[in-house]
Structure formats: C-alpha cells, structure tokens
Structure 1
Amino acid sequence: MRKLGLAAAATLALLGSEADAKTTVIYAGRVIVDPDKPALGASTVTVTDDRIVSIDAGRTPAPAGTEVVDLGDRTLLPGLIDLHVHLTGDPGGDFRSEAVDPDEWGVVVGVKNAAITLRAGFTTVREAGSAQYSAFSLRRGTTAGFIEGPRIIAAGPALSIVGGHGDVTGFREDVHDVLDQGYTCTGPVECAEKVRKASRAGADIIKITATGGVLSQQGRGLGGHFSKPELESIATTAHSLGLKVMAHAHGARGIEDAAAAGIDTIDHGTFADDAALKVMKAKGTYLVPTLMAFEGVRERLGKGIYTPTVEEKVRMTMGIVGQAVGKAKALGVPVAFGTDAGVFEHGRNGGEFALLVKNGLTPREAVAAATTVAARALSMENEIGRIAPGMSADMIAVAGDPLSDVTTLEKVDWVMARGRIAD
C-alpha cells in the first residue's frame, strides 16, 4: 500500500506541474532559427515555461488557455549574446570613485543596466569584471526573476599583475592596500591560488588582464603583463575546475602568449598580428573585438573626462581599432560578439553589429557572432543561440531582415528571456 501511495502521489505531482505550466504561442512573419540557415517564413513558435517546444509553419491555432503573442510581420530570432559587459558601471566616471562608492552601489547601477541591456535584445551577457559579489548578486536576481535582466555569466574581480591593468592604480600605496580585492598574483603558484579563490567565490568564468589597458591609470603601454608560466598556470587551473578564461588583451605579444597558454577568448585583441592570430587559430581561441568600446572612448576624448595618462593611450590605439576582425576572419579565427558596455552607455550594444560589418564580417556572420558563435564560446550551444525545441526560450523580434541589414538590431521591438517576456 505504501508503494502504491507514493506512486499515486508522484503521478498527482506530475499532473499538477503540467497543469501549472505556462504555454505561450508566438506568431511571427519570419523566423531566423539559426543565422547559418535560410530563414523561415510565417511561423508559430510554442514555448512552455522556459523552453521552446516547437516551430511550425504558418499560423497554427493556439490551444485554449495559452498566452498569444502576435508579432505581425516582424522577424523573430534568437536572443543576442554579449560576451563583454560591465553592468555595474557607467561610462565617464572618475577613477577615484573606487575609493568613494561602496560595492553595494554597483548592484544598484547594475539593476538599472541589466534591464536596459535586456530591452536592447541581449538575453545573455558575460559580466567581465566587477567588485567581489556585485555581479554574482545580479546573476542571482535575474535568474530568480526578482529583477529584469539577461542571463549573466559572471567573472567577479579580474586577476591581474601587481600594478597592472585590473589592479587598483593611481592612488597612494596605503590607499591601494585598503582597496585591494586580493586578486593580483605573482608567479604560477600564486596565480593558481587566485583562480581557485575566484572559483570558490562563485565565478562562472575567470577574467584576467593579460596586457596593459587603455582606460586604467597604469601608464606603461599595452604590452603583455603575465609571464608565460603564469598564463599557463591560470589556464590549466581554471580548466581543471571546469572554468574557461577570458583575457583582456591589446598588445600582439601578450595576445600570442595568452592564446599559446590555452586562454579561451581574447577580448579587444586590438593589435593582434598574423603571428598572434595564427596561434589563436591553432588553439581554437575566440576573438571578442569590443569595437563599441572605442566608439564610447572616442566620444569622450578631449573633454576632461580621462586623465592625461589615459588620453595618451587612447590616441595610440585609435588608428588600428577594428583591423584585427578582418585578419581574424581571413585566418579562420572565430569572431564572437562583445562590446565592453559600460565604457559606453548600456543599451547601445547593438551598434557593434555595424562595426563588425564595416571591418569585414558579412551581416550573417555578424548575427552569428552574437548567437551561435558566442554560444559555442560559452560551451552553451545546446542551451542558447538558436531557436529549436528544447532550447532556452530566449528570443527577440525586430522589424526588417537583420541578415541583410544589421542596423535593424539597434532597435528591438520585443524580448523574451528564459520564457519571460520583458516589460
């Protein structure tokens, strides 16, 4: 009797869960299920809870009790993925705010920016560096549906060398000691320890600053920072924990060393030359160009926003921005979508598409960079990046055809993330 009772209870629970499931039927004039495939005509996409159930040709009748979304002649496509954002910051802030604003303020700013980013069509983002727990708190909030925002793959604080890009610089040494979050490292052993510390804290991915940076107060150029043994230790340790590594990297030799060590993505890649890109190709390393970051920087030059140290590095960089994209394509290096939002205003992420096309990608390749290619870079290609049965219900709708005109992605009309329709 007891076994029968348990079975009956399980059956009732299952029936109850099915009864409580929410189904949404979406009608669209055109559907891009995968940018590498021909688009479908008028179609019906059915979603139950947070999963895509089916894609059918034409307008199939919606069962009673389902929510119906009629997108008219709009194009439905997979939710976009941005592999490099900083949700907890806004552009143009004084570097000294690090000594003034509490980490909690970053969460407040992040709630604002998470909603803006989602409404711009980005249903998954990789948060590329924040205070210790701010991005992790945002990740938890958007997952639970407490706040509106995308799926967040969060790094937490970046690993850097002492005094390098990513470390607190520009203050007195006693102030550095107070602000230090404990993620600088020297030598392979200490770098392995800091990877494990980041993993323990809750990082989904390890972020490192493999070279100097443009916007930090560290003024010694954009060359490589970590030694080869340090880079190898970081990559090996992260991979042993099931984590990938993303590297902020501008200078060619720093890019080459990071790729050779097994780092998974090179973000920015500004001065990447053929030698560096050939190593990236051999290692399967992705390039994440973040071209919009330089648009944001360009708009703020000469306005007293940046210090003289930063302005000098900006002017050294501007003439070559974007050239790595065409070189990478020619050599077969995968180009994935990332913007560095936070250096420019959140919500303008879609401007990256036109810049990718300007620098050598086709519109179809640019859309793939933010869907299928970015999903593979995250090893989430069976979860996001396509519209297919069983995939997460992450979809957006735009007017026009983004496979021929990527600027249509700068204005997104409708967003669904994990089965939830954005406000």
Structure 2
Amino acid sequence: MKLLAKTMGAIAALAACIASPAAADTLIVEAGSVIMDADSQPSGPMAIVVIDGTIRDILPSDSPDLEVYAVEGSKVIDLSDKTVLPGLIDLHTHLSGDPSGEFWRAATTPPEYFTLIAAKNARITALAGFTTVRDLGSRTDQVTQMLRRATAEGMVAGPRIVTSARTIAIIGGHGDVNGFIEHVNDVLDSGFTCTGPVECAAKVRLASQYGADLIKITATGGVLSQQGRGLEAHFSDEEMRAIVETAETLGLKVAAHAHGARGIEAAARAGVHTIEHGTYLDEQAARVMRENGTTLVPTLMALKGVSEGLDTGTYTPVVEAKIRAVQPLMASLVSRARQFGVRVAFGTDAGVFPHGRNGEEFALMVAQGMSPREALASATTVAADVLGMGDTIGRIAPGFSADLIAVDGNPLADVTVLEDVDFVMVRGRVIE
C-alpha cells in the first residue's frame, strides 16, 4: 500500500532505536496479513494503528478511514511481506540466569553481574518474539523487580515482566542453596526457606514486601539441584495450604515447581494456580488439577536443553542421573495432560537452556499432539488468561497493548516459523 509514502523515511529512524518512545506516538503497521488471535485465520493486507502504545484500530490497508490517522509526525512501519500476530507469552523464564552446570558460581558471582545478565537476556527474549514473560526465580533479591520497571519505562529493551522474585523452598531442598560447606551455605542463604505453616506464611508476606507479582514454590525435588533424594513432595500439606492462603489474602497467585505425581497432586489440592514441569503427571494428580482449575506449564525445552549437556562434563553425576530419569516421562507429558483433560499453557524454563530459543517449545508441543493453533493459543490467549491479563495482551484488538511480532509464513500451518521472528513491538516500542 502507498499510504503515507512521505512518512516512510521515518522508518529508518524508528529502526535505529533500541526501544522507541511510545508517548504521543502514532504508528501505522502495514501487514501483509494479520492473525488477530489463535482462533482467527490470516487476513488479507491490513493496517494496525497504534497510538501511545495501545492498538487503536485495525483496518484494511486500502481503507479510506486510515486518512484519519495520517497526522503530522505519524510513522509507518512496512511489514507488507510479513504475517503479523500477537506477541508471545512465556510463563516460565529465569532472565537473571544463563545455563551452566557449575553450581559453585553462586559463590563467586556478585549480584551486580546477575543484573547485567538479566538485561542482556531481556532483550534476547524480546527479539525472539516473547513480549511478556513470567520470571519464576531470580538470582538476587531485586534484579527482576528492577528489570520489570526498566522495561516498562523503556529504559531497557525487553518484554513485559511478571515476576515471583525469589523462590520459596524447604531448607536443603530444590531452590535452597545446595552443594557447599556449611558456612558458605549460610552466606548464600537468600532468606526464603521455611519450615512449618507459620514460617512459610511469613515468607509469602516477605516476597510480597519485596515486590513479587506472584509466589513461586518448589513443591517437590528438582532435577538440577545438588541433592539426589528424589523428585517427590518437599512441603507438607499444611505448609502448602498456608502458602496459598496467605498469597490469596495478598492478591497473589502461586506457581509450583513440581515433578512427582503425589507432589503435583498435593500442590493442586492446596490451590496453586499453575504446576511447572509436571513430569510424572498421572490420572490421579490430573483429576485434582482439573477439580481445582490448575494449569500445567510443561517446559519441554528445559529437558531438551539439559539433555544436550549430558556426557559433556557439564553436570555432576547426581544431576545427570536425574536428567536421564525424567527423559522418558517428558517425552509424553503434553499428550498425557491432554488425555487427562488438563489445560496446558506455554512456558519453557529459559535460563536452563540459552535464552532466545524459547520458540523451539512450539514444535515440541506439536510433536506431542497439539495442533499449531492450540500451541499458539497456549502462548497467547491461554497464557494471558493464566496471568489474569486476557483483556490486555494475547490478541490484536482495539484497546489491547501494542505487543506485535512479524514472521514469514503462516504459523497456523507451520509452527516452526515462530522460531525466526523478524519484527517485535512491545507496548508500542520497536525492539531492535
């Protein structure tokens, strides 16, 4: 379309910005086709009007009504050879961490460095097409809370961030410091471990005080921690109920890392909102999840990523044994969840594998029986609903945040096109 040809020179200036300002901006995104949401078919050529970071209108590219938005200073972004769709949502990331089997680095790396890592990974994640992430466990007390603010203000290029900040764990369990001598453990202790319902409730209040958007607990053992005592339940039923009930009084949801079936069941019965990983999900645990409206976030890329490090000296023998133990279960996780009627939402555990590869999760989900449309919904409308943001993100519609990505081809026919994103806009700001 030739609309506003005189303004096309502004595109170069727009592309030169890491995160262009949205205030008082009018942007017109010319798309070859648009997928409004995961239930829609690709359209013909369309123009998406963005004003002050919010989608104002979506019109056919040849509509005369576009002239209303042809104001002085408006900019045109030419994506006329691309498919534009809603920005993607990853419900399980760790922006302040990069993959490593060197657990001892926790004792040698100052928190300032983790902040720089987080800023780097925020930009990489956005460029991969993920315009909103839920960060479930950071390396220092305030790194993701401050990154949340910096990305919201456009100071740092990155996605919208919803964060649990630090993880609440049992003493000596997954999420606590492991593998060091006693006085090193004491120095590294983040203060978010607990024993008993009263103390666990207090840790929820502490997380809220520190600015957490939700609570993350390690309800069972984990694969990458330096203890090999299995992957079943860590918290008692009373402790988990205290965590969930306290979180609810503060308006917070709870995400539970959980592998073992009985740990999944106990966490769902306690009222957690999402189960992360869910490796050993069985019919009994799935029934409790359905009854309590609990969503599974399967993180298939986590296993793919750590499996790439087997037999390379990356991980300790304790960790390698656990990776091998969960491999057969993760290969059927999504298909089991679907068979049992459990809702599945998109999450990857990025940070366990290199950030930026988040989009590879789609093909893994499709390989386990999801259609490309269902996989896309898991990372848009379903994930937005999990976050309680279904009226703001996950669709291209008037009044929604201008979170847009562009790809070659049709992801509803070939979901792997989402592994190579060509254009990203977060809150009306173009990420370069």
Same fold (TM over 0.5): yes
- State the shift of 1:319 in Å: 1.3
Q: Secondary structure at the match of 2:314?
A: coil
Determine if the alignment matches structure 1 residue 289 to structure 2 residue 315.
no
2:123 aligned partner, one-letter code: A
- Greater displacement, 328-337 / 125-134: 328-337
On the 8 A contact 1:351/1:407 being kept in 2, the answer is yes
1:78 aligns with 2:81: no
Aligned residue among 219, 222, 238 for 1:229: 238
Residue 393 of structure 2 aligns with which residue? 384
Find the counterpart in structure 1 of residue 321 from structure 2. Answer: 312
Contact 2:45 2:80 in 1 (8 A): no
**Equivalent residue for 1:30?**
33
Q: 1:133 Cα shift? A: 0.9
Q: Is the CA contact 1:289–1:322 (under 8 Å) kept in the aligned structure 2? A: no
Alignment of structure 1 residues 358-369 onto 2, 5 Å: 358-369=367-378
Distance 1:299 1:387 in 2: 36
Instruction: Give, as a single letter, the amino acid of the residue that structure 2 aligns with 1:69.
Output: I
Q: How does 1:1-400 map to 2 (within 5 A)?
A: 21-60=24-63, 61=66, 63-65=70-72, 66-130=74-138, 131-400=140-409
What CA distance in whole angstroms lies between the structure 2 residues aligned with 1:199 and 1:59? 50
- The percentage of aligned residue pairs carrying the same residue is 57
Contact 1:32 1:40 in 2 (8 A): yes
SS in 1 for 2:425: strand
Q: Residue 47 of structure 1 contacts residue 419 of structure 1 at CA under 8 Å; is this kept in 2?
A: yes
**1:422 maps to which residue?**
431
The letter of the residue matching 1:156 is: A
Structure 1 CA distance, aligned partners of 2:287 and 2:30?
Answer: 45
- Runs of 4+ that moved beyond 4 A: none
1:15 alignment partner in structure 2? none
Q: Secondary structure at the match of 1:300?
A: coil
Secondary structure at the aligned position of 2:80 is classed as coil
CA deviations on 1:73-115 (whole Å, 9 max, x unpaired) are 3111100000011111111251011111011111011111111
Structure 1 unmatched runs, 5+: 1-19
| CA distances 1:11-47 after superposition (whole Å, capped 9, x unpaired) | xxxxxxxxx7210001111111110233322111100
* Distance (whole Å) between structure 2 residues aligned to residue 159 and residue 127 of structure 1: 14
Q: Distance in 2 between matches of 1:119 and 1:77?
A: 14
Aligned to 1:6: none
**Structure 1 SS opposite 2:406:** strand
What is the distance in 2 between the residues matched to 1:387 and 1:403? 16
Larger CA deviation: 91-100 vs 185-194: 91-100
Letter in 1 for 2:211: G
2:393·2:403 contact (CA, 8 Å) conserved in 1? yes
The SS at the match of 1:72 is strand
Task: Give the Cα–Cα distance (whole angstroms) in 1 for the partners of residues 305 and 325 of structure 2.
Answer: 16
RMSD in angstroms over aligned alpha carbons?
1.1
Matched length: 404
- Which residue of the partner structure matches residue 12 of structure 1? none
Counterpart AA for 1:284:
G
2:9 is matched with none
Aligned-partner Cα distance in 1 for 2:28–2:265: 48
C-alpha contact (below 8 Å) 1:27/1:59 kept by paired residues: no
C-alpha distance in 1 between matches for 2:273 and 2:28: 38
Deviation at 1:163, TM superposition (A): 0.4
Question: Cα deviations across residues 112-154 of structure 1 (Å, max 9, x unaligned)?
Answer: 1111000000000011101211111211111111111001111
